Amino acid sequence: MSEPLKKAMAEEARLLNEYAARLGALQHTVARRDWEAVERDIAALRNLTVEIESAEATRLEAYHLLKAALSVGGGETFDQVASRLPSPAREQLGEQHRGLKIAIIRVKGAAGLLGYYVRTMADTHRAVLEELLPHRKGRMYSRSGRARATAEESLMLDGKY
């Protein structure tokens, strides 16, 4: 009775773990600045996303079928539904549920690390460009070389030098 749900949860967890691993690989590809490989990695992630969505739909369908077989209403939690199963099936389903949660946490962690890396690199590049090309970013410097706030006034230059 719970076998289709266990299989669906295991498949979704497998796909999510693969997604997390590919996010980590994407971070390394970005670090190498291999932009063609970045595009390929992103396309592969998009394809994997479609597979994950399909696996999630299968899991939800299997879950609803299990709830219907157990005559469970819509307001009960997963643990309440699983508690209606015999001991071995309940434990196996709980193990699959934990595996799915761990896979989701891995994806969140990998996505967070990738986002942090990209933001940090962008901020670093922006700061370097501001120091190298202050006139392009609206930054002005005093005679001592320290950055100062720009005034909303025009600058007049002597064209004779």
User: What is the chain's pLDDT, residue by residue, as a tens digit (161 residues)?
Assistant: 789 999 999 999 999 999 999 999 999 999 999 999 999 999 999 999 999 999 999 999 999 999 989 888 778 888 888 988 998 999 999 999 999 999 999 999 999 999 999 999 988 988 888 788 766 665 666 777 777 665 555 555 555 54
- Quickly tell me which residue has 């980590």 as its tokens: 24
Residue 111 backbone dihedrals phi, psi, to 5 degrees: -65, -40
Is 143 a member of any domain? no
Q: What pLDDT sits at residue 141?
A: 65
Q: Identify the helix (H) or strand (E) that includes residue 53.
A: helix 35-69
Is residue 151 situated within a structural domain? no
- With 0-12 CB in 10 A as exposed, 13-18 as middle and 19+ as buried, what is 59? buried
- The answer to whether residues 44 and 22 touch, using CB atoms and an 8 Å cutoff, is yes
Query: Is 159 inside any structural domain?
Result: no
Tell me if 148 is assigned to some domain: no
**Considering the domain boundaries, does residue 27 fall inside one?**
yes
Whether 35 maps to a domain, the answer reads yes
Query: Domain tally for the chain?
Result: 1
Confidence at residue 76, expressed as pLDDT on a 0 to 100 scale: 85
63 found inside a domain = yes
DSSP H helical segments within the chain, as ranges? 3-32, 35-69, 78-82, 87-132, 134-137
Task: Give the structural domain span for 105.
Answer: 3-137
